[in-house]
């Protein structure tokens, strides 16, 4: 079975070798027929402490690395510096 890939935005990089990624999904509400946005946070492994807050990253399912970390960052793009 292929591993899941999710795209999200880094919301925290305070931990060592770990980033918290917010993944947003959009769906149509079954009763209201209105587009709804829901988000969920995932802890992902970042070996080189490369990614910072605001960066867009792709995370991939992985074996458990700790109590909360079951994902690793596979690629991403830096947020443009202002």
Task: Give the CA distances from residue 1 to residues 47, 61, 74, in Å, rounded to whole numbers and listed in that order.
Answer: 25, 11, 18
Q: Which pLDDT tens digit goes with each residue over 39-63?
A: 999 999 999 999 999 999 999 999 9
**Domain 5-77 is in which class?**
mainly beta
pLDDT band at 69 (very low <50, low <70, confident <90, very high): very high
What is d(CA 36, CA 21) in angstroms, rounded to the nearest whole number?
20
What pTM value is reported for the model? 0.89
Contact between 13 and 73 under an 8 Å Cβ cutoff? The reply is no
């Amino acid at each position: 079975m292929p591993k899941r890939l999710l795209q999200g935005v880094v919301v925290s990089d305070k931990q060592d070798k770990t980033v918290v990624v917010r993944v947003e999904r959009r769906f149509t509400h079954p009763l209201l027929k209105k587009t709804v946005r829901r988000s969920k946070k995932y802890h992902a492994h970042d070996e080189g402490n490369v990614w910072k807050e605001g960066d867009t990253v792709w995370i991939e399912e992985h074996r458990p690395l700790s109590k909360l970390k079951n994902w690793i960052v596979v690629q991403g793009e830096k947020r443009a510096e202002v």
